[in-house]
Amino acid sequence: MDGRLFGTNGVRGVVNEDMTADLALRLGKAIGAALGGDVAVATDTRASADMMRAAVSSGIMAAGSDVHDLGVLPTPALQHYVRAHGGVKGGVMVTASHNPPQFNGVKYISSDGTEASREEEEGVEAMCSQEAPCVPWGSVGAVRKVAGAGEAYVDSVVSKVDAEAIKAAGLRVCLDCANGAACETTPMLLERLGVAAVTINCNPQGCPGRPSEPTEENLSDLLAMTRATGSDLGIAHDGDADRCVFVAGDGTYVSGDKSLALLSRHALSKRKGAVVTPVSTSSLVEEVVNGAGGSVVYTKVGAPTVARRMIEARAVFGGEENGGLIFPEHQYCRDAGMAVATMLECIAREGPLGGQVSTLPVYHTVKRKVGCPEGMKADVLRHIAGESAGARVDDTDGVKAIFDDGWVLARPSGTEPLFRIFSESKDERVASSRADRYEAAVREYLGRRFD
Ligand code: MG
C-alpha cells in the first residue's frame, strides 16, 4: 500500500471495502512490530467490532506481541489503561468515532496513552507498505482477556473531582451514548457520583440509534427529554466517547466553544496558567480565559497537537470546540468521562448550566466552503495573506487574519479539495460581510488562474 493511511484521527474506511480484515491484520502486524511489546486492544460497539478486533489482534501476535483484550471501552478508558500499565507498550482502539455504522477504523495509542504522533504513524505506514516481518513460531503472542478496565477508568475519574460536592447537589441528568462505547462506563460514573440518570441510546447493540456525531440536529430526542424530565443537564457522547457535549436544563444545546469556555474558567479558578486550543476556536474562549486570569495558546487543528502543546505549556486545560476536552490532571487526551464529572462539579459549585451560559459574551461565526484543487492550495494561501492589509496575520494553520472587530480563518482541508472559511465577530453583519469578501477573493483568484 502506498501513501498515507492515517488521517487526523486514525485509519478509517467502509468495512469490507476500504477497511478490510486484511488491512486490519497488516496494521496489527506493523503496530505490534513498532511497539515491540504488549498491546492493549479495545473496541466501540459497531457490528464489525469482532472481525476488526480479531484481525488486528492476529497481526499483533504474528509480530510477537501479546494482546490485552479489554472488550468494549471508551477510547479514553483504553488510553488510561495503557498509561497506567507500565508493561503495556501501546494500544489499538477499533473505532470510527462519529462516522456512520458502515465505517470502522483503527486509532493507534502511544505508550504514554496519548494518540500516536505523526512520526509514529508514518513508521507504521512504512511497515504496512512492505510486508512486516513475522516472528518464528515459538515467539508468537497470545491474547489475555482483561476485565475491569472500565471500572478502573471510572474510579480514576471520580478521584479527580469533588465527588462529595456533586453527591450533595442532588443532580438529575439525561444521558445519550449513541449506543456507543460509553454505554456502561458513563452510567457507572453517574451512579458513583450520586447523580440520577435517565438514559437514551444506551444499548451497545451495534446500531447507533442516532447519528453518532453529537451535533444539535442529531440530538433532538435528548433536547426534548432533558426539558421534559426537568433534568439539570443533558449529556451526549460520540461513538467512541472521547467527546462530550451538553444540554442545559431548558433543553438548549450548549455548543462546544461555550462548554470549553466555562470549563476553562472552572479550571482557572483552581490554578492559573494556559488554556490550549486550535486557531479555529471562537474568541469567546480567549475573552473568558483572559477575564479569569489565564492566557490562550493556539495550535494547529487536531486533538493530538493540542495535547502535546498542553504538555509543553504545562497548561491547566485544553480542547477543541467539537466537545473534545483534555484534562491535564487526568491524562493528555480527549476525555469524555472527565468532561461529564467536571461539568457536574462546575454545576454543583456555580449553579445551573443555563445561568452560566447566559454570562458568556456572544460571538457570531459564519462558515463557508470553497472548492479548490489540491495543487492550488499553497498559492491561494499566499494570495489570501496578501489580501489581508490592516490585519495581523497568523499562519499557525492556514491563514488567520485578525482585525480589531473579529477574524477570518481560511484553512485548506486536509482530506478534501476545498478551503474552509470561518469568519467571527461580535457584530453579525461584520462576520458575514467578511466571509463574503474572503470567499469572493478565493473564487476570483481561482477563476483568474483557470481563465
Ligand atoms: Mg470520537
Q: What is the pLDDT of residues 37-55, one digit of tens each?
A: 999 999 999 999 999 999 9
**Could you give the residue ranges of the DSSP H alpha helices within 130-268?**
149-159, 163-169, 185-192, 220-228, 256-268
Query: How large is the average pLDDT for residues 134-143?
Result: 96
Given pLDDT bands bounded at 50, 70 and 90, which one contains residue 2? very low
Q: Give me 312's grid cell.
A: 509543553
Q: Measured in angstroms, how far is the CA atom of residue 65 from the centroid of ligand 1? A: 27
pLDDT exceeds cutoff 50 at 88: yes
Distance CA 409, CA 164 (A): 43
Question: Residue 284 corresponds to which amino acid?
Answer: L
Query: How large is the average pLDDT for residues 168-181?
Result: 97
The closest alpha carbon to 296, from 283, 311, 308, belongs to: 283
Q: Measured in angstroms, how far is the CA atom of residue 334 from the centroid of ligand 1? A: 8
Using only the alpha carbons of the chain, give its radius of gyration.
22
- For residue 6, what pLDDT is reported? 81
Burial 212-239 (b: 16+ CB within 10 A, else e): bbbbeebbeebbebbbebebbbbbbbbb
Distance CA 103, CA 97 (A): 9
Q: Measured in angstroms, how far is the CA atom of residue 435 from the centroid of ligand 1? A: 29
Distance CA 442, CA 135 (A): 53
Least confident of 121-125, 246-250, 397-401: 121-125
- For residue 450, what pLDDT is reported? 58
Q: Measured in angstroms, how far is the CA atom of residue 95 from the centroid of ligand 1? A: 8
- Global pTM? 0.94
Q: Measured in angstroms, how far is the CA atom of residue 199 from the centroid of ligand 1? A: 20
- For residue 406, what pLDDT is reported? 96
Q: Are 227 and 202 in contact (CB under 8 A)?
A: no
- For residue 30, what pLDDT is reported? 94
Q: What is the pLDDT of residues 303-357, one digit of tens each?
A: 999 999 999 999 999 999 999 999 999 999 999 999 999 999 999 999 999 999 9
The closest alpha carbon to 335, from 207, 116, 234, 185, belongs to: 185
Q: What is the pLDDT of residues 223-275, one digit of tens each?
A: 999 999 999 999 999 999 999 999 999 999 999 999 999 999 999 999 999 99
Q: Measured in angstroms, how far is the CA atom of residue 74 from the centroid of ligand 1? A: 9
Q: Measured in angstroms, how far is the CA atom of residue 17 from the centroid of ligand 1? A: 22
Q: Measured in angstroms, how far is the CA atom of residue 98 from the centroid of ligand 1? A: 6
Query: How large is the average pLDDT for residues 412-437?
Result: 92
Q: Are 92 and 60 in contact (CB under 8 A)?
A: yes
Q: Give me 78's grid cell.
A: 483504553
Which residue's C-alpha cell is 486490519? 24
DSSP, collapsed to helix, strand or coil, labels residue 7 as strand
pLDDT exceeds cutoff 70 at 1: no
The closest alpha carbon to 252, from 221, 227, 217, belongs to: 227
Q: Which residues are catalytic?
A: 97
Q: Please tell me the number of Cα atoms within 13 Å of 261 on its side-chain side.
A: 24
132: which DSSP letter? P
Helix (H), strand (E) at residue 442: helix 428-450
- For residue 118, what pLDDT is reported? 85
Q: Give me 393's grid cell.
A: 496575520
Q: Measured in angstroms, how far is the CA atom of residue 323 from the centroid of ligand 1? A: 9
Q: At a CB cut-off of 8 Å and minimum separation 6, what does 44 contact?
A: 72, 93, 94, 95, 96, 180, 181, 239, 240, 241
DSSP β-ladder status, 418-425 and 406-412: antiparallel
Distance CA 101, CA 46 (A): 7
Q: Are 342 and 353 in contact (CB under 8 A)?
A: no
- For residue 208, what pLDDT is reported? 78
The closest alpha carbon to 235, from 323, 175, 184, belongs to: 175
DSSP, collapsed to helix, strand or coil, labels residue 73 as coil
Q: What are the residues whose beta carbon lies below 5 Å from ligand 1 (ion)?
A: 97, 238, 240, 242
Q: Measured in angstroms, how far is the CA atom of residue 240 from the centroid of ligand 1? A: 5
DSSP β-ladder status, 364-371 and 418-425: antiparallel
Q: What is the dihedral of CA 256, 307, 272, 77, to 10 degrees?
A: 80
Output the CA–CA distances (angstroms, integers) from residue 84 to 35, 156, 181, 209, 253, in the order listed: 17, 10, 20, 33, 35
Q: Measured in angstroms, how far is the CA atom of residue 239 from the centroid of ligand 1? A: 6
Q: Measured in angstroms, how far is the CA atom of residue 135 from the centroid of ligand 1? A: 34
Output the CA–CA distances (angstroms, integers) from residue 274 to 243, 290, 294, 326, 346, in the order listed: 21, 10, 6, 13, 19
Q: Are 40 and 93 in contact (CB under 8 A)?
A: no
pLDDT exceeds cutoff 60 at 82: yes
Average pLDDT over the chain reads 94
Q: Measured in angstroms, how far is the CA atom of residue 71 from the centroid of ligand 1? A: 17
Q: Measured in angstroms, how far is the CA atom of residue 258 from the centroid of ligand 1? A: 19
Q: What is the pLDDT of residues 182-232, one digit of tens each?
A: 999 999 999 999 999 999 999 988 777 899 999 999 999 999 999 999 999
